[in-house]
Amino acid sequence: LNPIYSGMGVTIFEKMSALCRDGSRINLGQGFPDDSGPPELLAAAGKALLERSNQYPPSPGVPELRDAVATWYYRSQGLDLSRDNVVVTSGATEALAVTILASISPGDEVILFAPVYDAYAPLVRRAGGTPVFVTLRPPHWRYDGDAIEAAVTPRTRAIILNDPLNPTGTCASVEELSTIAQVCVRHDLLAICDEVWEAVRFDGQSHRSLLSFPGMAARTIKIGSAGKIFGVTGWKIGWLCAAPALASVLARAHQFLTFTTPPALQYAVAEGLASDALIDERREGWAQTRAFLNSALAGEGFAALPNGATWFSCIDLPGSGITLDDAGFAERSVHEGMVASIPVSAFYETDAVTSVLRLCHCKAESTLAEGVARLARFR
């Protein structure tokens, strides 16, 4: 067996959710809403399931969804895309696998930013590449141009950027994006942009994709997920967008990973993406859960770090008077406090930040209030 997998445990998300499945604990760990999804979207999926074909749809996705993704990106981000730029995948996770397996060869180096989403480094390694980490630090998790430049070598093939960033809930500034784009252009790198949180930005902030910066259209693979836009994480409908020449090669990798993705869910997501009202309603709901959790934390004397996006709020543990590190506090919270959380150190391989705990806020207020009360009781 390949040692990458035979030596690997389950992810921290699976570990925490498994502890919660018997209903004994509050799960503020793995990121997912505690509702089932918007009723309109569920009805559209049900209708498509009953009334349309359930046989293999086209491998790159149903035309309705490829068009809807391109149109939504034009409306929401001003991007000039068509269905030829879009390949539908079984979640953003598959889009990441497709992109990394199709673009990274043995000997290549890939720059990753830590905190790093857990799927990236194992995929890079399985493709024969080497991850090179650039470390971001709290409270602002800023991207430093000199540090990025120093990580580039003649072997560097790509940068993987996750913006907005899971687990911190922060966003790169336009200046930071511009710096990253310039590094990519200067060294002829691919930019693999995991933008699954693009629709979950609060405070009136609009999303700007690295794809839109000068020189980036031909070298960027932009990855999205309906799971995050609509809060239906189990659906696993994602996509990648790239220049047609690149997208057609990535489509070849997709055809031998999953080939295709359930058609009824693709039709439903196409309908959902046509409704700005639905997307806005989801985001506004999560703006409220973010505000509720942050104020409940403040009420119990926890210091929350700034979070302008995603379903996550982060606690600064030392700033909250807690002396345990994040992994220690998360273990105590889940076993004694009966509330699951995610230690941010799990998003580092080296040089970890151990002072920050991630909590998922897209839950009922009563659940959030009880979760915070439990955390406060034993800290």
Query: How close are the terminal C-alpha atoms of the chain, in Å?
Result: 43
Residues that bind ligand GLN (CB under 6 A): 11, 13, 30-31, 166
Among 12, 25, 31, 254, binds ligand PMP (CB under 6 A): 31
**What tokens appear for 357 in the block?**
């705990």
CB contact at 8 A, 86 and 62: no
Give least dist CB 31 to ligand PMP, A.
5
E strand spans, the chain: 26-27, 86-89, 109-114, 130-135, 156-162, 190-194, 220-225, 238-241, 303-304, 312-316, 339-340, 342-343, 356-360
**Pairwise CA distance, residues 192 & 101, whole Å:** 12
Binding partner of 30, given ligand PMP, ligand GLN, none, CB within 5-8 angstroms per partner class: ligand GLN
Give least dist CB 196 to ligand GLN, A.
8
Question: Closest CB to ligand GLN among 85 and 162?
Answer: 162
- For ligand PMP, which residue has the nearest CB? 91
Q: Does position 162 bind ligand PMP by CB under 6 A?
A: yes
Determine the interface stretch with ligand PMP among 61-69, 90-98, 200-208, 350-358 (rule: CB under 6 A).
Answer: 90-98
Listed in sequence order, the residues at least 6 apart from 315 whose beta carbon sits closer than 8 Å to its beta carbon are: 297, 302, 303, 304, 305, 356, 357, 359
Element holding 354 (H helix, E strand): none
Among 33, 57, 60, 91, binds ligand PMP (CB under 6 A): 91
Give least dist CB 117 to ligand PMP, A.
4
Total site size for ligand PMP, rule CB under 6 A: 14
Q: Does position 359 bind ligand PMP by CB under 6 A?
A: no
Question: Closest CB to ligand GLN among 148 and 232?
Answer: 232
Binding partner of 247, given ligand PMP, ligand GLN, none, CB within 5-8 angstroms per partner class: none
CB contact at 8 A, 70 and 85: yes
Give least dist CB 166 to ligand PMP, A.
4
- Bridge partner list, 238: 89, 225
Give least dist CB 34 to ligand GLN, A.
13
Q: Does position 266 bind ligand PMP by CB under 6 A?
A: no
- Bridge partner list, 144: none
Classify residue 153 by burial, with Cβ atoms within 10 Å: 0-12, 13-18, 19+: exposed
CB contact at 8 A, 327 and 345: yes
- Bridge partner list, 361: none
**What tokens appear for 377 in the block?**
């009781």
Give least dist CB 255 to ligand GLN, A.
23
Among 227, 272, 343, 371, binds ligand PMP (CB under 6 A): 227
Give least dist CB 358 to ligand GLN, A.
8
Q: Does position 114 bind ligand PMP by CB under 6 A?
A: no
**Pairwise CA distance, residues 245 & 101, whole Å:** 16
Residue 310 backbone dihedrals phi, psi, to 5 degrees: 75, 180
Listed in sequence order, the residues at least 6 apart from 63 whose beta carbon sits closer than 8 Å to its beta carbon are: 83
Determine the interface stretch with ligand PMP among 64-72, 140-148, 230-238, 351-359 (rule: CB under 6 A).
Answer: 230-238
Question: Closest CB to ligand GLN among 61 and 227?
Answer: 227
Among 67, 163, 194, 271, binds ligand PMP (CB under 6 A): 194
Binding partner of 239, given ligand GLN, ligand PMP, none, CB within 5-8 angstroms per partner class: none
- Bridge partner list, 221: 192
Question: Closest CB to ligand GLN among 99 and 156?
Answer: 99
> Contact residues for ligand PMP (CB under 6 A)?
31, 91-93, 117, 162, 166, 194, 196, 225, 227, 233, 236, 238
